[in-house]
Structure 1
């Protein structure tokens, strides 16, 4: 649903959150003021403060809700699967799709932790939520290594590399590009699984070998992905198309 930021018949809280994500993603949190938010939604500063206690509280709330919904959606998708390859495939395809479909919310989630006051309750909470999400990646990789289906020299570096590949879609994916999102997800899954298996050359051709390639047969169901109703639509962005990422 497209949110008209200045339509007073649209829920004010949703308009403020949509404007906040748009401005935080475009300008950065530090460069966005309450006055900027008010101007975007045609409200006074007092009107903004009627709905949010502070700019930092607004940022924390956006990140908190988004992280929780990402975790809940991920756990729903992973629940039926036990094989590490299937779980990793779901993690790759779902994180890729979330960042492609909700790029501005994703940029705020990924890039603005630094803007929360270090040592604050909100800062600690968001870190804990991020850790809870990343635990799913850690466990999938560790289980694959333990079961002998993944060969990974450094699990942390592998996890960071794969997650960076997925989150990058918030910067370059376009619905009207050369590849559909389904194709991008499938290719990223293939790349990710190839990166973690690396079977020995003398066993790769042996179908009976424990190190023979194992195909993942699942990808994320986009209908199960989290929905962020405040995600700005392209029509909310006044910049020309070529200036948008």
Structure 2
């Protein structure tokens, strides 16, 4: 393995460990020493690859948010019906959180850990808002076209998104329901919430979902992760 490959491998291991630790015990409770111990490196070795713990967090959140945006735009390409767009948004957000629970937990929960007013925090907020704009537009278009009947568009959006993101906490590949069944049920619940017809709605192509190479592959089987959620 040459130097470039070794650096890439170290970067990958550091990011995988950071996602696991940040999701399991929180960013604030994770030190560079914890991270170094997890990947069997020295503190100086960590700083060779990352400038600071906060920069590492921002990099992970940036990659996760941008990956979600890019995947969403691929999934929604050419889809005009508000009902189909909302169904695809519900299904894809549900599946992304189910398949990448550690990454999405960090993405959703650690914005508070970025320094207020910093360029990194402002960038992450801008990316988050760009993603949520797809939801705002789908719901607003459904209301304006008479396809949806909603009393409060913002509360409806927040409720539906919270339902989807919750799969990072409880979904298990070996559970009673397949991921496709969970997505289909959530789509049915979401369309019922906006009082839209549910016949022949679009379903997301799971191959278009974002892939996060730093997602810990066996995090759900780690007893320390389960303990941290209690």
Report the count of equivalent residues: 224
The equivalent of 2:123 in structure 1 is 125
Matching residue of 1:233: 217
Q: Name the CA distance, whole Å, in 2 between partners of 1:192 and 1:170.
A: 18
Report the counterpart of residue 182 of structure 1 in structure 2: 180
* Residue 80 (structure 1) shift: 1.8
2 CA distance for matches of 1:99 and 1:231?
11
Please tell me whether residue 221 in structure 1 is matched to residue 205 in structure 2.
yes
2:103 aligns with: 105
1:156 aligns with 2:150: no
2:3 is matched with none
Distance 1:216 1:133, change over 3 A: farther
Where does structure 1 lack aligned partners over 5 or more consecutive residues?
1-7, 199-212
Contact 1:89-1:216 at 8 Å conserved across structures: no
TM superposition shift of 1:234:
1.6
1:80-99 alignment, distance < 5 Å: 80-99=78-97
- Structure 1 length as normaliser, TM-score? 0.87
Please state how far the C-alpha of 1:215 moved relative to its aligned partner: 2.7
Post-superposition offset of 1:236: 9.1
- RMSD (Å) for aligned C-alpha atoms: 1.8
Comparing both structures, which one devotes a greater share of its residues to helix? 2
Indicate whether 1:46 and 2:44 are aligned. yes
Go from structure 1 to structure 2 and tell me whether the alpha carbon gap of 1:214 and 1:93 turns closer, same or farther (over 3 Å shift). closer
1:116 equivalent in structure 2: 114
Mapping of 1:130-141 within 5 angstroms?
Answer: 130-141=128-139
Query: How many angstroms does 1:237 deviate by?
Result: 6.5
Indicate conservation of the 8 Å contact 1:149/1:214, yes or no: no
Quote the residue 2:77 is aligned against.
79
